[in-house]
Amino acid sequence: MLAIVMTMLLCPSMASADIRTGQELITKLNSTSDTLETARDHLEATQFVGEILFAWEGKSHCKPPAVTVGQAAVVTQKFLNDNPALWHNEAAALVGAALGLAWPCPKSKQGKS
């Protein structure tokens, strides 16, 4: 797991949201929908995960054909909640690591676009 995380920390960010760190991402993913602001936070974090789900396909992970952005967000949320020591790292890299652990690529597809 550490090798995957370290590899993903070296990948450049491709997500457009203003979420920079794992701390910012997990705060938004864990927000409840009690208010419009927290609902927007959760939606922004889910969109952030979705951008990486598609942009990094084949580079950090090989998603199953029917996987949804919502599933990817839950996978990322669980990974972050289980690894708070990593929250200071770049959010996009942490999403890539979480997705790579959940949906690893066969050896022949890793690193290809």
Domains and CATH numbers, the chain: 2-7+25-102 (1.10.890)
pLDDT at residue number 18: 84
- Report how far apart, in Å, the C-alpha atoms of 67 and of each of 14, 37, 98, 103 are: 20, 27, 14, 10
Low-confidence ranges of the chain (pLDDT < 50): 2-16
The pLDDT of residue 14 is 46
Q: What is the distance between the alpha carbons of residues 69 and 84, in angstroms, rounded to a whole number?
A: 22
Overall pTM > 0.95: no
pLDDT for the residue numbered 85? 98
Q: What is the pLDDT of residue 37?
A: 86
Tokens of 94: 């942490």
Q: Write the pLDDT tens digit of every residue in 41-58.
A: 999 999 999 999 999 999
Coil, helix or strand for 59? coil
